[in-house]
Amino acid sequence: MKVKVAADILSTNDAIASENRKLFRENGVFVINLMSSPGAGKTTLLEKTIALLKDNMKIAVIEGDVATTADALRIEKTGVPAVQINTGNLCHLDGSMVRSALSEFDLKSLDLLIVENVGNLVCPAEFNVGEDCKVMLLSTAEGDDKPLKYPLMFHESSALVINKTDLIPYTNFSLEKARRDALSINPKLAVFPLSCRTGEGFEEWCGWLRGRIETR
């Protein structure tokens, strides 16, 4: 019975996500579902990315957190609109939650909508929200064993951003191992090592984003 209930929940969510996706495509909006564990640097990555892209495209952000509006307030300081969704005890955003936030935006005016999911390495990968692609953020402080321990995240993502490369000399993180293990799970994964602190690697990451948006 538990299996059936889980299947029903995912099936219902997929239907809503499909409606969201149709709405996004009708309005010409490219949507990213950004996922990571807590503290990997999702919001900082967004702040830096928005600063580099906002002069040439219209961006909005949906923030998912268990509680508080701290991340949405940070994003609003970049000059782009942001909506906060608090999930309470839920460890992920779903299609219905994202759909409820869309009325806050003028979708026709947007080029890029980024959904910053709740910090979790399991549940967010299971729930589509209508995105064009999922992006996984891994920080070097978490360890290079995460691809093999949480394979679904890496399997479902189109890109892997490896943040905090400036900390590698102070950790036992192997960039080669993390990349190799991630690609063994998903050979099509685009991998972008970068540092939000130094800015290293952002040219490649933002170039990939621009390319995906232009060819949507």
List pLDDT tens digits, range 121-152: 999 999 999 999 999 999 999 999 999 999 99
Give the pLDDT score at 90: 86
Count of structural domains within the chain:
1
List pLDDT tens digits, range 188-213: 999 999 999 999 999 999 999 999 99
Share of the chain above pLDDT 70, in %: 97
- Here the tokens at position 117 are 């999911």
φ, ψ of residue 215 in degrees (nearest 5): -105, 15
Residue 11: which H helix or E strand, with range? helix 2-26
Least confident of 5-9, 171-175, 189-193: 5-9
Domain that holds residue 83: 2-214
**pLDDT at residue 98 greater than cutoff 80:** yes
Residue-averaged pLDDT of the chain: 95
Closest by CA position to 137, among listed 41, 25, 216, 72? 41
CATH number of the domain encompassing residue 123: 3.40.50.300
Give the pLDDT score at 7: 60
Residue 166: which H helix or E strand, with range? none
- pTM of structure: 0.94
φ, ψ of residue 161 in degrees (nearest 5): -100, 125
